[in-house]
Structure 1
Amino acid sequence: MDEDSMTTQQRTDDMITEEGSSTESDAERLIKEAAQTLGAKQTNQCYCGTERILGKMEMQCVGCYRWFHEKCLSISIPRCVPFMMNYAFICKKCNANSCELFQKKTAGFSQVSITALANLLFKSREDGTNKNMFSRDKEIIPWIDSNWELLMTGPRRVTQTWHTTILKTLQKESSLFINQDDVYFGLVDPDLYGIMPSYDASSKLQLLRTQENQQTRRGPKRKLPDGQTVPGGKCKLKSDLVMPRLPAHGYPNEHPFNKDGYHYFLAEPDPHAPFKQEFDESVDWAGKPIPGWLYRKLEPEKVLLAMHDRAPQLKISDDRLSVTGDKGYSMVRATHGVTEGSWYFEAIIQDLPDNSAARIGYSMPLGNLQAPLGYDRFGYSWRSRKGTKFHQSLGKHFSAGFGKGDVVGFLIELPRSSDKVKLPTTYKERPLVKFKQYLYYEDADKATQAVKNLVELKGSRVSFFKNGKLEGVAFENLYEGTYYPAISLYKNATIKANFGPRFRFPPRGYKYRAISEAVQQNMVEQTMADMIYLVENEQQFKVEALNF
């Protein structure tokens, strides 16, 4: 690209200004900087009263200038990077509404360059190389490029003219950057504790005014498909497209259960969806349903027992690995399923009182939760009592039973059914329903139709193990589909699941993967399915074409 063709884009880049006020007097600026620096050096930071943690995302309050750890906040903020400067934040104590506010600002290239160098410097200190100077082309530019969406408020640049703008910034800002032959650059002040947002005298007022505008300009509350509305309250999040913070175990404490012919999937804002900001800010869309394509199915970060995909009477432990039964047979599935490959998990029999029983194995998503595993065509199980195996309510003798203290293992082998990779369902066309501040996709089961569509997967099989010993192949030629580890209990039996990666009795002589490894695979496949949907339906997402 020649010099003339670059001029327009570079001018656009140079026009991006940093947060600050030109009307602020020198005295006001010096007082502000002194207070901000003093606040940054206090040892009793955050609500928790502990010190700062460099290398982790922290926010400095525009009111008290103390720093707050992201993990200690009661709101969820967009994904960011450590040492970021382009934001405004106010803590609960400094806001008259007693709630936190966070707003990401347009980043100037000086801010972006400082953030990039600070992260490179921190990493260098952490790994022991202790470098102070970094290559523009090999380190600074690649770091900014890989973190663009986390740093910037706008879309990724199509051209690379911003590379030149970064160089000009590093060369020009001699009070901020050390320049070595226009190739290597570093920070004039390497004190990472001194990197903070560019607050000025009006920053707090602007942030609070943003909150006021969000609460008053929107008109009627936005309705959800089932007629519910966003609940009012003393303190609101800035955006409908911000997800409330989840509890420590990763799922809302109060939630809808999969039952009565419907499945519910916890949803989170999709960072790749178009027109998020336009939807959030437009008054014209107030009172209309939130379109499903703005969200995506949340993929848990660990394989655990599902909170929602279980019979409500079952009791799940705090770590979500143990389950205790209640009265008649009922079932719980794991959070992650598999469609192909060889996979393994263990179940530890922690308690099995007299007259209680357990059936453990694998279930497809439509397996009946208010019945024992193996009751229908969607599940395959092994019973503790008499070692009976079950599928479609047909019990057959398989082995001796198992009891308290035993460790039973379940190996499923699912060959690929075709040359094409089958991606999971994208739920972006499903309605979103709100339950206790969280949004969920609602999906009808259509179990009757699913039964008619079942086909055998040749070569598939399930094998059972007891305390490391292979009991044999229990089932072959399973129905094709997605299989989840599942546990069903009769009365007050207690079973603990071990999804890996370490097992008490790993199956010897078999090539397999622990079910815990399905997390990354599920995330990739679900993301691909969602991205393909967005690309294929791109024309429907034009602002002028939206009819909600």
Structure 2
Amino acid sequence: MASSAPSPQREGTASAQLNGAVPPSSIPQKRTLEDDHTPAVPSPLNPEAKPKVQFQAPEEAQPMGREKRAKKDSLKKRESKATSSDSARATPDPKPKEPPEQLGPIRYRLPPPKPSDFELPRGPVFSSHHEVQDSEGRTIEFFETSDHVYNKKNFHYTHCIADPAFRSSFYYRQTEPPPYGPHMSFEDAASHMFFDREGKHVTTEKGYRMSRANVAVREGRWFWECKVTRGILRNRREDEMESHGHVRIGFARREASLDAPVGFDAYSYGLRDISGQKVHMSRPKPFFPPGEEIREGDVIGLEIYLPSERLHRKIVQGTYNPAVDHDDDSDLPPEAPNIVRDRIPIRFKQHIYFEKIDYHTTKELEELHNPSPMSTTHNTEPPHPNHPVPAMRTLPGSYIKVYKNGKLMGTPWTDLFAFLPPASKQAQQSGGREALDDGSLGYYPAVSVFRGGAVEVNFGPDFWFPISEEDAATDGTKTKRLRPICERYDEQIVEDIVYDIIDEVDFWMQDGGKDIDRGRDEKAETAGAGREEIKELFQDD
């Protein structure tokens, strides 16, 4: 936490301050005859020297020839002095008051919605780009998506709609556009990526790009599949190239960069098609047996396990005790997460979105990813559940398993990084609020494609290679049911509805427990005493 004492005012140059000099006045002064060449500060070569001019702090230095005047300390400096000198006599307030911004979501004074705001949201505009043949002989048509917003510049966007049942002055709630169901997100993807109409096939003609799914997992056991439709050739002839591109498959958090492959940083875990290597923080390591790699037609299954959010919160809050805390909380009452969603509706090309501040990378994980000998804050202590830095704490028992064509290949990663606040942080907001959980945190299924590489995702419930009970019960998590990602999508929709209702009740009570007279508001707008229109967002396609 930054000190409350103000920075000293700049007076004169640094060299002048070190030599005991004072800033010159506006009137030139002659040098006094009593001055000699005695150094202002004793040195090892002249230890007996006594400086003629005593060093003064910049705040006490006065112009020559002028009478020194008493300077009144600022309020912050007086409070700082009182804290250091009178701490024994100071009596802290037993109930410090929280700023109003800490008590609930930020309020925005919005204009009444337009009639078009009540219409169902539309998906992106699809423009046919090219067709490819997969290893099974199927023709896949890829489209360029346009007229939609991208998650970038530290902001996250979700579709919203005006609802006549919401009687407060906020008016809007979250919604989903077609295609409905779990799929790779058109908004939460890098530019220059191409999709099919269902959002299940992904490719690009550029370098590595990443796309996250529109659903994230926060606790429990989950499974999804990914089929390589264009990649390393399985049976290459002598006159053929070695591959049609490359792919990487894995999981990524909100902080992971979209303009990089999965596994590039500490926020994602990826599996590389070449040699079947595992990649985390840009460090490829052997995983598949020698001679194995991921080729066209292969189906990669990914299973992830995360402990309960109750245990997760203990870890990030620093109260986790491995001797007594365990993941089996079935005998404990349910504990709801504290979700706070600060968001505002914006317009973009006939669409209405909620704009939220996204989560950003932390210094500690950036240094762990790129260790530098010049860094003075790099922590050499490895990540673990009780690490002094929240971002470096891990989830005990968590793992990611990999299956190839239905066969368990192993567990490349265990003890995944924690993601609940304060392990994840948003940019500083008004009122000093930070480390909020807006419900979007978690591990997202993610794929990266490179120069023609293409994949098809399958979030269930009908998998190409269902996991057998023998493989699913190989460890202590056998009591946790292995669930398809599609079920998590349904849970996410229910959570959004519940959080929208909670926000609406909160806003309704802040409005005095009365329904807003929208007709009256519209008349005020017409009279010129209304509020500004919802802002229009501009992004480069």
- Which residue matches 1:518? 488
Q: 3-state DSSP class of the match of 2:309?
A: coil
Classify 1:508/1:249 alpha carbon distance in 2 versus 1 (closer, same or farther; 3 Å).
farther
Classify 1:238/1:378 alpha carbon distance in 2 versus 1 (closer, same or farther; 3 Å).
closer
Q: Distance in 1 between matches of 2:353 and 2:157?
A: 6
Post-superposition offset of 1:505? 0.8
- Which residue matches 1:348? 227
8 Å CA contact 2:303–2:402 kept in 1: the answer is: yes
- Which residue matches 2:347? 434
Q: 3-state DSSP class of the match of 2:402?
A: strand
Post-superposition offset of 1:253? 4.7
Q: Distance in 2 between matches of 1:461 and 1:422?
A: 24
Classify 1:271/1:456 alpha carbon distance in 2 versus 1 (closer, same or farther; 3 Å).
farther
Answering whether residue 167 of structure 2 is matched by residue 294 of structure 1, we say no
8 Å CA contact 2:118–2:163 kept in 1: the answer is: no
Identity of counterpart residues, as a percentage? 29
Q: What is the TM-score when the length of structure 1 is the normalising length? A: 0.50
Q: What is the TM-score when the length of structure 2 is the normalising length? A: 0.51
Greater per-residue helix proportion: 1
Q: How does 1:367-516 map to 2 (within 5 A)?
A: 367-399=256-288, 400-418=292-310, 421=335, 423=337, 425=339, 427=341, 429-449=342-362, 453-454=390-391, 455-481=393-419, 482-509=442-469, 510=472, 511-516=481-486
Post-superposition offset of 1:272? 4.6
Classify 1:265/1:406 alpha carbon distance in 2 versus 1 (closer, same or farther; 3 Å).
same
Name stretches of at least 5 consecutive residues in structure 1 with no aligned partner: 1-224, 231-236, 280-290
Q: Distance in 2 between matches of 1:255 and 1:490?
A: 23
- Which residue matches 1:246? 122
Q: How does 1:313-352 map to 2 (within 5 A)?
A: 313-352=192-231
- Which residue matches 2:149? 256
Q: Distance in 2 between matches of 1:362 and 1:338?
A: 10
Query: Could you say which structure has the greater relative contact order, defined with CA pairs below 8 angstroms and 6 or more residues apart?
Result: 2
Post-superposition offset of 1:314? 1.1
8 Å CA contact 2:167–2:515 kept in 1: the answer is: no
Q: Distance in 1 between matches of 2:262 and 2:173?
A: 32
Amino acid at match of 2:414: E
Q: 3-state DSSP class of the match of 2:510?
A: helix
Q: Distance in 2 between matches of 1:544 and 1:501?
A: 43
Once the two structures are superposed, residues 204-245 of structure 1 have per-residue CA deviations (whole angstroms, 9 ceiling, x without a partner) of xxxxxxxxxxxxxxxxxxxxx999x99xxxxxx972541345
Q: How does 1:121-270 map to 2 (within 5 A)?
A: 239-247=115-123, 253-270=146-163
Post-superposition offset of 1:437? 1.1
Answering whether residue 504 of structure 2 is matched by residue 534 of structure 1, we say yes
Between 1:254-263 and 1:444-453, the stretch displaced more is: 444-453
Q: How does 1:26-37 map to 2 (within 5 A)?
A: none
Amino acid at match of 2:115: S
Q: 3-state DSSP class of the match of 1:386?
A: helix
Classify 1:244/1:297 alpha carbon distance in 2 versus 1 (closer, same or farther; 3 Å).
closer
Q: How does 1:105-116 map to 2 (within 5 A)?
A: none
Q: Distance in 2 between matches of 1:378 and 1:519?
A: 22
Quote the RMSD (CA, aligned, Å).
3.3
Q: Distance in 1 between matches of 2:340 and 2:176?
A: 11
8 Å CA contact 2:183–2:213 kept in 1: the answer is: yes
Q: Distance in 1 between matches of 2:489 and 2:509?
A: 32
Structure of larger gyration radius: 2
Q: 3-state DSSP class of the match of 1:431?
A: strand
Q: Distance in 2 between matches of 1:245 and 1:259?
A: 21
Q: 3-state DSSP class of the match of 2:160?
A: strand
Q: Distance in 2 between matches of 1:476 and 1:362?
A: 13
Q: How does 1:74-85 map to 2 (within 5 A)?
A: none
Name stretches of at least 5 consecutive residues in structure 2 with no aligned partner: 1-107, 127-143, 233-241, 311-328, 366-388, 420-441, 473-480, 522-529, 532-541
Answering whether residue 296 of structure 2 is matched by residue 358 of structure 1, we say no
Q: Distance in 2 between matches of 1:252 and 1:402?
A: 28
Post-superposition offset of 1:448? 3.3
Answering whether residue 173 of structure 2 is matched by residue 274 of structure 1, we say no
Post-superposition offset of 1:480? 2.7
8 Å CA contact 2:396–2:415 kept in 1: the answer is: yes
Classify 1:539/1:226 alpha carbon distance in 2 versus 1 (closer, same or farther; 3 Å).
closer
